[in-house]
Structures are given as C-alpha cells and as structure tokens.
Structure 1
Amino acid sequence: MAIAVFGEYVDKSQITILIKLLKDKNIHIRCKAISALGEIADDSLLEIIIEALNDEDHQVRGITVKALGRIGGKLAEELIIHAFLDQNDFVSKKVFETLLKIDKNKAIQLIFLASQCYDAEVRRKAALFLGRIVNKANYVSDLPLLINLLNDVNSKVRKTAVEELMMLKYGMESPEFKALREEYNKFYCKAEIDIEKIINESDLSTLLLKSVGHDYHGRKAANKAIDIEIAKAGNVEDTKESFITALQHENPNIRCGAANYIGKIGGKSVIPNLLEALQDEEPKVRSRTIVSLISIADKSIIIPALLKLLKDENYRVRSLAAYELGNIADDSTAIPSVSFANALIETLQDKAIDVRRSAICALNKIDSEQAAEVISASLPYKDNFIDNIAASILSKHGKLEYITHLWKALVQAKYINQAKEINFHSATDNLYSTIEKIQQQHQIYNPKFC
C-alpha cells in the first residue's frame, strides 16, 4: 500500500521516517506525517499515533483524531471520544466529524451526553454542534435536550447555542431547526421584557449595580435607564450629587457604576471626587475611575495620577496606568517629561508580566533616546512580546552598540526554548530584521550578526 504525502507516495517501508517526522519542529510536517500514518491504517501504529494527541499544536491533535478514525477499533473510538474534551474547539470539531463517519448515532449520543454534563465547558462544546444535530434530526429522539442549551445557566453556553442556531448551512429549512429558532426568539423576547422591567422599577443604586453586572441584558438595560435618568433630570446639580454620594456607597460594585458615569454628569467639577476615588480600597473601582478621569481631566492632572498608580498594589491597576500613559504619549499635544519615561522604564522590572508588557508598549510611543539606551542594556527580557517591542524601539534609533544586545536576545537559550509561544516567530524575526537594518544603516557586515 502506498499513500500520498509531501507530493510523493510513501509505503509501509517508510514508516520509520514518518515516525521521526512526528517530532519535527514544523507543524505542517507533523500534520502530514500523522495523516500519512493514519492512511496506512496499521493497528500496530496505534500507540505511536496516540502520543500525537498530546502534541502542543491543535492542528496536529485534530489530524490525529482523523487518523484514529481511519485505524478504527474500540480503543481508537474511546480515544476519539476522550479528545472531545480538548481545550481547542478545532479538535472537538474533528472528533464530532470523525464519529459521524464511524457511527452517526454514536456522534449524536455523544453530544446529548455532553449537553447534560455538569461542566459548563463541556455543555458549551455540545452547543457547538447544535445545528449539525438538528440537521440530522431523523437520528434524534429527544430534541428538547438541545433546546435546554438555549436556556442554560451559563452565558457562554447560551451564546454558543444561539450562534449555532443562526448558521444557515446547518439546515435552517428543517421543521426541527425552525422550532429551535422560535424557542430562541421567545428567550430573547423574555429578555426584552426584563429590560423594560429594569428600566421602570429600579432606583439609581440598583441601576448602577446592574450596569457593571455579569448579565449582558441587565447591563444594557441599566445603562439605558441611567442615560434616560440623566437626560430628563431637571436639576443637574442634584443628579451630580446623587452620583457623588454613590461613589461613597458601601457596595464596591455601586461605586464602580458611579465612577463610570460621574464624568458625564459633573464634567471637570467632579475631578476632585474622581481623584479621591483613585484611593478606593477596591482595585476595580480604581480602574474604572482611571477611565472616567481620562475622559474629562487635563494631561497635567492625569499624568501625575497615573505615574503614582504605577506603584499600585494591584497589578491590573498598574497595567492600566501604564497602558493609558502610552495613549497620552501617543497624543501629539502632550510632551512626556523625563520622569514620565523613567517611570515606565522602571516599570519594565515589575513582577507582573501584564504590567511589563503595557510599559514596553507605552515606551514604544515615546521617542526617547534615553529609554532606548536603558531598554537595549536590559535585553533580553525573556519574554517574546517584550523583546519584540524592544526591537521596534531600538530600530527607531539604530545605534551600532544595540546589535550586541539584540543578538544576545536572539540566541538566549532559554528564550529560544519558548518556541511554543504563538508569537515566537514574530519576535525572532523582528530582532533579526532590526540587527540587519542597523548594519545596513552603518554600512557594516558582520557574519555573526546575520
């Protein structure tokens, strides 16, 4: 038996070569190799193919599921079903498609069982195939189980179920599909009724609480109601005072909601209240306040406040502060001071990766030679994202001495071992191209740095 792979034909005598290719660094080569082994369909290869279910790349894992389907047998089927729980939906899709080819009833039964699982993520995966199941309704005896996914307690499950129902390619013309769509419409009609109820029956504190809640419809209704209340307010000062009072509420979620809206009500007159709210004990209140303050305050007020928040105890607040400093630096009307750049440079040593990444992005928007010098001397940062942006910064200034540091980042053993990260190639390519650009700029050529 011979099979086509890489444009040629491979027979059983070349199985050893294919097995070695399963360890190749190139994802596409591994995919081709596992696919070829599946085409050979030899039971003795099952153990080797099983190992590929743990490959770091979801494409390889998906192709492995198909290969197991070609080999067949009880063990292969059990492994295929187990792979349904893979963290990547691409693999789960391959599981469903493969089972459909083996036994349609088994595939449909798998989705029904998954739809009743206590784990919300498993139910969400069941919802992914809702349309496909409806399109094959002649194999299904209990459609109400799928209807329940539209009313699941988990919002992600409901969202996935709704999206699948709207996919025309799954057989929208079938009576079963139309029935499910009607159920979906009823569900949303109920949601609209709830919105009207929220608007008509809630006081300001309740609206502020719902405006930052987890329920999408609740947030939508609350925000709409608050806007209506603001628009029809006869006395702006009274309305402003209500929001200022809410900023002091014992419930942090109500304080969050107040921080969101107070800028719209009071304008610059509420800046002192927002500056005070930056000291709130709850990180989420401080974060919401940052956004509100930026919308109304001058740079002379915002920058000192954000620089102070770079030392906040909460990493999310520090990250947001660094991010917003970058936005200010990108504003041509604002000229960052030396202390501005220094603070961000210092933040590159923050213990939280999100904060460091926000800081390097902010520095990328500042045309600071001083920042470039420090960034160069500190390479590598042992993070692909940061090293990538650092290379972009150094590329702007193009000093010859940067090359040594860029090269160190490129060849750092631990750094290269991070090849599993999705942005590895973009980082290494950017480091390499920056080295080349600087060499060309200075008209030199060093084989070591090429």
Structure 2
Amino acid sequence: MLWWTLRQLKSEDWKEREEAAKKLGELKEARTIEPLVDGLKDRNSHVRHAIEHALVNIGHPAIKPLLSVLRDRNEDWRRAAENVLVRMGDAAISALGSTLSDSNFQVREAAAAVLARIKDPAAIEQLLLVVKRGGLDAKQAAVAGLVRAGQSAVRPLAATLKEDLPGVRETAAAALVRIGPKAVESLIAALQDGGAREAALEALDKIDPNWPKSPAAAAVIPALLSSLKDKNERLRKAAATALGRLGDPRFVEPLAERTLDEDEGVQEAVAAALGTLGDIRAVRALVTAVRKGAPRGRRAAADALVNLGSAAVEPLVEALKDKESPVREAAASVLVRVGHSMVEPLVDALWKIDPEWAKSETAKEGVPQFVAALKENGGSTPREPIEAGRKPGPIRVVKPLVAALKAKEAIVRKETMPTIEMGDLADVQAISATLDDNDPDVRAAATKRLLQIISGLGEPLLGALKHNNHIVRRAAAHALAQSGDSRGRDVLRSGLMDVSDMVVMDAAESLVRLGDATVIQPLIKLLSSFEGISGDPAAAHKKERVIRLLYRVVEQNGREVALDDLRSIARLHEPENRFLASAEQ
C-alpha cells in the first residue's frame, strides 16, 4: 500500500528507506514527489541515490518541485536536486532555461550550472539563446554556465561572434575569454569569418597575446590578406591588426598599400601593424602617412617610425622641408622621440624653415632651455614638461615636442581634452583611451567632450546608443543614465559584463552615482580577480577603486545588500570589515 511505503521512507533503518524509494520510483505517482524531494536531505548516500533514481523515473512532473529546492539555504539539498535535474537531461532543459531569469541570484547560478553539466548540445543552445535574448541578470547566469561547460561551449560561442547586435558579440567574447586557452583554436578558426573576425581577434589578444605563434594561425593568412581590401572598414582594421600580430615580413607590402586608406581607423591599425613588424621597407610608406594621412593615421605612423629608430631619420629630415606645418611638426616630434641627439639639428632645421618664428626672442631663449632640460634627462621627458613648454612660449615647436614625448601624461590629457577638435563621430577614437584612464578627472573630461561632439552633430542620444563605436555608446549611456532614462542604465549595466576591467569599473562608477545596487556582484567578482596579485601598481590601483565603489554601494543601499555579499567583500579585503559593521548596525 502507498501509505505504508511512504511511512517506510522515514524509517530509522536506512535499508528500509532505500527499498521504499525504489518502490516509489516504480509507482511514478504524483503524490510521491514531495516526500521524495524532501528525502533528498537523507544523510545516507545509498538512500539519496535511490531517491534520485526514483525522481528521474517520475520525470517531468518532478522538475518544478526540484527547481524550488534551488532556493533553499541547505547546500547539500540543493546539490542533490541539481544532480537529479542533470540526470533528467533533455526533459529539464527548457525549464532550466526559464529559471535563468529568476530574480534570485543563487537560483540563476544553480540553473546555469545544471545546464552546463547536461551533456547535450540542446543545453548549450539554451544558454546561448539567453545570451542573445535574455535580460542582464539572465545573461550573466548564462555566461557563467557556458564558462562551466568549457570546451563544449567554445564552437557555438565562436559562431555567436558574428551576431549583428554588439551586446551579443561582446557577451560571447567575454565568455570565451573566461573559458581561456581551450577557446584559442576555435577563435583562430573564427578569423576566417569576416563577421566574427573583429570580436575573435579581441578575445584572442586577451586570452593569449602569443596566439599568432600557434600552428593554426597560418591557415587564416589568406583570409586576412583578402580582408585588407574589404568594403567593410571594421574588417580591414581587424585584418591589419591581426597581420601585425602574426609578424611575418611578407605582410609589409600589402600593409604599406593601405597606409592612406579612406578610413582613419584603418590607417591607424595599418601603421601600428607596420610598427610591430619593424621592417625598414615600411619607412617610406609611413613617412607618406605622416605627411598625408588623417590625424590618427599620422600619429600611429609617427609611433611606428619611432619603433624603426635610426632607419627613419633621413626621410623624416626630408619631411622637415614640407610646406605643410602639421607635417613638419609631426616629423619633428618623431625625430625627437628617436633620440635626444637629434634635437639640436632638428631645432636648427625648424629655424631655417620658419625664419619669422626664429626671430622671436622667446624662441631664441626657450628652445635651448627645452633642449637642455631634455639632455639632462638623457633624452627622456623633463620632470615638469608642461612648465618647460609654457615658459619659453614658442608654441609652434615646443608644444608639439611636449605632446610627442607624452610628458606628464595625466596632466597633458586632462588639460588638452577640451581643446581637441573633432570632425565627426568617426574621430572619437582620438580620445577613446582616456575613458579608461586612472585619473577620474580625465575620465570625466573625456565623457564630457564626447557628449559635446554628439550634441554638436545633432546626434540623438538614443541613436548614439546603437552606434558601431562602443566609445560613443558608453558616452551616450552616461548621459541618459544621468538624466534618469532607464535605457541608459541598461547599457551601463551591460558594461558590467565587459571583458575589460576598466570598462566594468567605468560602468559601475556611473551606476553607483545613480544609486544602482546591481553593481555589487560584478564588483565582487572583479575584486576576487585581484587576489594573489602583488607588486603590480596598476592592479593595486584598480583594487582600491573597486573597494571604494563597493563601500559607496553599501553606504547607499545597506539594507538591500545581502549579508553573504558583505562577508565576501570582508574576506577579499580584510581591512574593509567596516562593511560588516555598517550592515549589522
């Protein structure tokens, strides 16, 4: 009789409990599901195994009660329920996918873990479906599941890199980066696909900067060379960057042909690639780029020529005779960076080229002072280059020299940011790096300037959220979030999943200012990534910034922050036990 079998399930004799579980599994009665699920708490492994088998036999009707166990604080009970769901396999996949949108973080994580353990391609597809269409919380859980799945998720994720939506591509790339070296081979293969190439390249660089040395890299060379002439500027740019990474001198000529590409970003990537290759055959093309390229292309070409060193000196000296002042100044800055021994001949040449400026008293007094300061530092930047540039007053030469030497970088960036002139949205890359600067004033100035650019062009902020350039999207998101528009917040929240820790901190900083408590889990994960790192000033700075952000979240949203999260923070950063103190109060 059923009532007797259910009674035996609570017997003190574990063998009777085991036998009862087996009988209930054979009956497949709906009335037996609740006591069987409760029986998963049994301390005897034989009994638990029998109950798990019984619930698997019952099948679909048991799924919902098992999912409810995922909310419980009893970890052993949760693990037992997860084991049953894994064994159910295909029958549980759809329900688990829906659970990824649950409001409870613990439930989402558990559902993702179960899907990762199910040895069925349909489970991976369910996780990918959530990555493409789910909300932010569901996406985070799905990514965690895909990372757990490891090798079996790599190919489907690599295929997702060619999705049209930037957010989907970035999420897939973030998952592949977290999977790590196992993803390298599939990512290299993805370089064959034009649609996936840009995201695949970025992920490869983050996983293993030495990926071009892999035997598999040789197979993608024809596709990359072909992409240098593609109509899509993003593909041309990605191909140029990849060819530079591969480091084969055979790529010098095809890259040199693109130094004056119609797209400024491609010019920049091509020049950087030629600089990486370090072949003197590229000198003439790079000098031409310095003379005729777009602003970013000229800067990148100048950097590349610096890498080439003395081989670039002669053609650069010829460029000092150019009729165009920007060309002369660019050539001058490169020569200064090649070595301080070139400074005095350079100044002499500039005086000859521009006699009117040379007659000024400030030029006669100031340039020698700057040269002397440069020599005192062995050819490196003077300690106070801003002052060295201001006192003499010869703006036409000294200011370019200071800029070229990248002197006092944070000060230069902050003070010059408002004066940078932009032609259109394609020019935002010129200040994109400053959005991730360590100095908050620099970040604020960069964001403000980008918003001015967007506003000046009449670009609607909502339209800017869909712009191809992620820098524009981030700037627009900051503005919308500050105005209280939820769409801006959504974009900032997606930044919490970015592969760049600087982007995560940038997004979190804006959300914290808005009183948004969703940042706490991503920040805790980021904080944990700094564990065990010592002697790295950059990591120490980032860790301190994360701690400050977490403290502000706790101050603003103390009652909403889970005690477990506070304990995690205290464990990761012992001096910050004030988190616990503030919560307990």
TM-score by length of 2: 0.31
TM-score by length of 1: 0.38
Q: Which has the larger radius of gyration?
A: 2
